[in-house]
Amino acid sequence: MTTKTTDHDATPEASLSRMAENLKKVEALTERLTQVMSHRQTHQQALDGPNQELFAKASQSYLSEAMQNPAKLMEHQMGYWTKTITHFMEAQQAMSKGDLSAPEDTTSTDDRRFSNPLWKSHPYFNFVKKQYLINAEALKTAVDNVTDMDPREKKRLGYFSQQIIDLMSPTNFLATNPDALERAVETEGESLIKGLENLISDLEANNGELVVKLADETAFELGRNIATTPGKVVYRNKMFELIQYTPSTEKVYKTPLVVFPPWINKFYILDLKAQNSLVKWIVDQGYTLFMVSWVNPDPTYRDVGMEDYVDDGYLAAIREVKAITGEKQVNAIGYCIAGTTLSLTLSLLKQRGDTSIKSATFFTALTDFSDQGEFQPFLTDDFIDGIEAETVDKGVLPSIIMARTFSFLRSNDLVYGPAVKSYMMGETPPAFDLLYWNGDGANLPAKMAMQYLRGLCQGNKLADGGFDLMGHHLELGDIDVPLCAIACETDHIAPWKDCYRGVQMMGSKSKTFIMTQSGHIAGIVNPPSKNKYGHYTNDDLSLDHEAWLKGAKFTEGSWWPRWEAWLKKKSGAQVEARFPGDNDWKILADAPGEYVAKKAKL
């Protein structure tokens, strides 16, 4: 429920009285807050930030610079002092005029945090905002001018310094947020009570861990208004359920298509609603489509590793799809971490002489981790050591840890902005299907998480020498099936240039690379009907990424039709449509199945 202005007597005395009554409700909420925090499930402190060694190195470097070039340090310090004192004097002069107006504000309004007109017109908020921006600039300058520091360490210092800047924004505090203060006055304190209720509710939902709820969970129901493409669960084991979708055409292409989504999140990102469902669109193009719906692991999956995902996941799904359709080959799609694992599977099959996969499609899949992009701050030993300790303790890497890590890559949009609206404004999160999916995460088994983080992310073993798994030495050069890779221009999880570099290392003679506009999710979930994001293509994959993009052709609209034209050539002739349950194959459940509905538990 969103807050509304009350319809009571609007006299100042009455409003203050009702506000006092509302604030008394805080006492009733205190018991709930105490209860949840007293039973808070703790996690490793190393996951909350870098160890002190990083800041010690930064301090040492800064002091060394000061000793070698004191004039430069004084220049920076005097610049900060000058701006701060000038700012104070301007505010004083404006106040002395008696009209309590703010000095002229030429600050850019591009920052959505400061969209309220009071940030420009009110002397108090104007002063607070300007001083915050001066402080932020000074901190950035100090970090930028650290020279005697390893580039990776400096990049990490810059990331965590930015986190401090974002955290200290005046919009994050009630006393310096005009939107929240105005709402509190309008609702006579009711917004603050509802905000506190929202805060406690989020803490209760996550065992005392604070993860801001981004979407109204009551607005969605799997199988009713999301994940609604008709189909049946036709196979289930400890790792996944296999969904076969009901055909919507009389004829289908002979070679079936099986999708391996990432097991960090749920598969229905590809089937949110009919208007943007890649699942429905593929079915409507005449393909027999199968979807892997991964189990949401609990601590009993502690010893499940990458080999289990390959053997009891990929190979089992391929085996079942071939048995159901009677075909000898399948086309396969791997999204994100599932694309990385698809590359491992392809190398394994090549070494075994197994030709079950006819073609492979990779959605935003990293296979070369030599440049760790925006995740580099989280892939150092202190953080990974903390994750390892967490998995030893709990048997899984909890989804809440991953959700928090991903969110802080865009902290203003996914942490502080939503927190202000929910906790200070008392608003109910929006009914937004994408954000609902974003909050419906999954745990990772302890063994698998560390294999992935240590061996692939940190060690980059697949691209640099090979990755040992299941008695085989797996290499990208083994991959020889026709492949198509789709990467996203502004992807901060799997940067397109890194996806491209991995594809270059694969041994296939037939490679297609498409770079779509937008990011990790919106770039992939990009239906043709929206005509929203275009894409780039260039057949010459011998070029480095900059040259490839410079010579690429841009096409307006979705990449889906281009990819489908490529897939069609790998899918054989058309045959009569195949329905779940044909040939008396046992049906286990309706789509979207049971595994997808299970919430992450510890």
Residues 471 and 583 in one domain: yes
Residues 261 and 331 in one domain: yes
Residues 504 and 558 in one domain: yes
pLDDT at 3 over 70: no
Domain C-terminal end among 186, 215, 240:
186
Residues 460 and 541 in one domain: yes
Q: What pLDDT, on a 0 to 100 scale, did the predictor assign at position 523?
A: 96
How many CB atoms sit inside 10 A of residue 220's CB? Answer: 20
Q: What is the torsional sign of CA 537, 538, 539, 541?
A: negative
145 pLDDT band, cuts 50/70/90, is confident
For residue 233, give the nearest of 274, 315, 294 by alpha carbon. 294
pLDDT at 199 over 60: yes
Domain C-terminal end among 161, 186, 211:
186
Residues 272 and 171 in one domain: no
Q: What pLDDT, on a 0 to 100 scale, did the predictor assign at position 356?
A: 98
pLDDT at 490 over 70: yes
The structure's pTM equals 0.87
Question: Please, what is the Cα angle at 367 between 363 and 370, to 5 degrees?
Answer: 130
DSSP H or E stretch at residue 49: none
- Which residue would you say has higher pLDDT here, 10 or 493? 493
* 21-25, 50-54, 214-218, 584-588: least confident range: 50-54
Distance CA 370, CA 52 (A): 26
Distance of alpha carbon 420 from the chain centroid:
20
Decide: 401 and 387 in contact? Cβ < 8 Å: yes
Query: Which whole number is the average pLDDT over 31-45?
Result: 73
Residue 328: domain span: 231-378+443-597
Question: Please, what is the Cα angle at 170 between 1 and 136, to 5 degrees?
Answer: 140
pLDDT at 503 over 80: yes
| Residue 52 lies inside a defined structural domain of this protein | yes
Q: What pLDDT, on a 0 to 100 scale, did the predictor assign at position 55?
A: 53
- Which residue would you say has higher pLDDT here, 30 or 303? 303
389 pLDDT band, cuts 50/70/90, is very high
Q: What pLDDT, on a 0 to 100 scale, did the predictor assign at position 1?
A: 38
pLDDT at 4 over 60: no
pLDDT at 147 over 90: no
High-pLDDT (> 70) share of the chain, %: 84
Q: What pLDDT, on a 0 to 100 scale, did the predictor assign at position 528?
A: 96
What CATH number has the domain bearing residue 452? 3.40.50.1820
Q: Specify the residue for token string 């983080």.
A: 453
Query: What angle do helix axes 123-144 and 151-167 make, rounded to 10 degrees?
Result: 170
Residues 102 and 235 in one domain: no
| Residue 204 lies inside a defined structural domain of this protein | no
Per-residue b or e along 495-526, where b marks 16 or more CB atoms closer than 10 Å to that residue's CB? bbbbbbbbbbbbbbeebbbbbbbbbbbbbbbb
Q: Which two tokens stand for residue 355?
A: 């030709």
pLDDT at 517 over 80: yes
Residues 330 and 461 in one domain: yes
Per-residue b or e along 170-194, where b marks 16 or more CB atoms closer than 10 Å to that residue's CB? bbbeeebbbbbbebbeebbbbbbbb
Residues 179 and 289 in one domain: no
pLDDT at 324 over 50: yes
Q: Specify the residue for token string 């942490």.
A: 415
| Residue 394 lies inside a defined structural domain of this protein | no
Decide: 239 and 316 in contact? Cβ < 8 Å: yes
pLDDT at 51 over 80: no
Q: What pLDDT, on a 0 to 100 scale, did the predictor assign at position 6?
A: 46
DSSP 8-state secondary structure symbol assigned to residue 219: G
Q: What pLDDT, on a 0 to 100 scale, did the predictor assign at position 46?
A: 60
Distance CA 250, CA 252 (A): 7
Q: What pLDDT, on a 0 to 100 scale, did the predictor assign at position 381?
A: 84
Domain C-terminal end among 149, 170, 186:
186
Q: Specify the residue for token string 């009350």.
A: 6
How many CB atoms sit inside 10 A of residue 376's CB? Answer: 15
| Residue 412 lies inside a defined structural domain of this protein | no
Residues 457 and 567 in one domain: yes
| Residue 241 lies inside a defined structural domain of this protein | yes
Residues 499 and 580 in one domain: yes
602 pLDDT band, cuts 50/70/90, is low
| Residue 407 lies inside a defined structural domain of this protein | no
High-pLDDT (> 90) share of the chain, %: 62
Give phi and psi for 563, each to the nearest 5.
-65, -40
Residues 370 and 512 in one domain: yes
| Residue 193 lies inside a defined structural domain of this protein | no
For residue 133, what are the CA distances in angstroms to 100, 102, 111, 164, 333? 22, 16, 11, 13, 46
* 87-96, 252-261, 437-446: least confident range: 87-96
Question: Please, what is the Cα angle at 308 between 302 and 309, to 5 degrees?
Answer: 105
190 pLDDT band, cuts 50/70/90, is confident
Residues 169 and 249 in one domain: no
Query: Which whole number is the average pLDDT over 187-211?
Result: 86
**Residue 336 bears catalytic tag:** yes
The rounded mean pLDDT for the chain is 88
pLDDT at 313 over 60: yes
Class of residue 259 by CB neighbours under 10 A (exposed 0-12, middle 13-18, buried 19+): buried
158 pLDDT band, cuts 50/70/90, is confident
Decide: 235 and 588 in contact? Cβ < 8 Å: yes
Query: How many structural domains compose the chain?
Result: 2
How many CB atoms sit inside 10 A of residue 589's CB? Answer: 15
| Residue 206 lies inside a defined structural domain of this protein | no
